[in-house]
């Protein structure tokens, strides 16, 4: 259960909305922020807040990339797999990431630090290939640059934009 205060706040925001369901994504974000991911129970809690059925919310949650229905690592790395990045070397970025982290796309490292997932164009095409880690964007990726970023995050130096 989310804290009473958070629940109250979400209920109030939902009540102010013209249609409660327009708050669906915001509410899921808030719960995801609290739990780290959306468990089945969290889905049911969120559904109740916005007055939707869990199924209706699930239709949205499983369609929208930024809602996690499974636990993710502390850093969620999303590699852009859209056209421009793909032309600019997406494959070598993914190859490098998977071999460095020792995980496949969709997986999380055993230490719970990194998750790796593909994402649609993140609007960084001019600096392709690009990726997003939590809320920070990285462009013009090379193996060396990726190593530096991972190193920095892994050694615990606070990464900018951490949620």
**DSSP class of residue 138?**
E
Among another protein, ligand FES, none, what binds residue 130 when CB lies within 5 to 8 Å by partner kind?
A: ligand FES
If one asks whether residue 117 binds ligand FES (CB under 6 A), the answer comes out as no
Among residues 83, 104, 112, 142, which is the contact residue for ligand FES, using CB under 6 A? Answer: 83
Contacts of 141 (CB under 8 A, 6+ apart): 89, 93, 129, 130, 131
Give least dist CB 15 to ligand FES, A.
37
Distances from the Cα of 58 to the Cαs of 24, 43, 149, 157, in angstroms? 10, 7, 34, 36
122 near ligand FES (CB under 6 A): yes
Q: Report the candidate in 144, 153, 73, 83 with the shortest Cα–Cα distance to residue 114.
A: 73
Strand partners, 76: 115
Q: Which does 62 bind (CB under 5 to 8 A by kind): ligand FES, another protein, none?
A: another protein
Q: By CB under 6 A, which span of 17-25, 77-85, 96-104, 155-163 interacts with ligand FES?
A: 77-85
Of residues 27-56, which lie at the interface with another protein (CB under 8 A)? 40, 43, 52-56
Which DSSP string do the residues of 57-86 spell out, in sequence order?
Answer: HHHHHTTSTTS-SS---SEEEEEE-SHHHH
Task: Name the residues that contact ligand FES, by CB under 6 A.
Answer: 80, 82-85, 121-125, 128, 130
Give the residues lining the site for another protein (CB under 8 A): 40, 43, 52-56, 58-59, 62-63
């Amino acid at each position: 259960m989310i804290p009473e205060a958070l629940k109250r706040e979400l209920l109030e925001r939902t009540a102010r909305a013209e249609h409660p369901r327009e708050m669906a994504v915001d509410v899921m974000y808030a719960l995801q922020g609290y739990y780290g991911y959306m468990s089945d129970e969290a889905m049911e809690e969120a559904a109740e807040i916005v007055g939707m059925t869990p199924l209706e919310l699930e239709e949205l949650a499983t369609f929208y990339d930024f809602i996690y229905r499974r636990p993710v690592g502390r850093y969620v790395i999303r590699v852009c797999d859209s056209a421009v990045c793909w032309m600019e070397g997406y494959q070598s970025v993914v190859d490098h990431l998977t071999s460095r982290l020792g995980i496949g796309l969709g997986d999380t490292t055993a230490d719970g630090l990194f998750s790796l997932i593909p994402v649609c164009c993140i609007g960084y095409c001019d600096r392709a290939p690009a990726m997003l880690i939590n809320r920070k964007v990285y462009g013009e990726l090379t193996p060396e640059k990726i190593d530096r970023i991972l190193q920095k995050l892994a050694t615990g130096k606070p990464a900018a934009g951490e949620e």
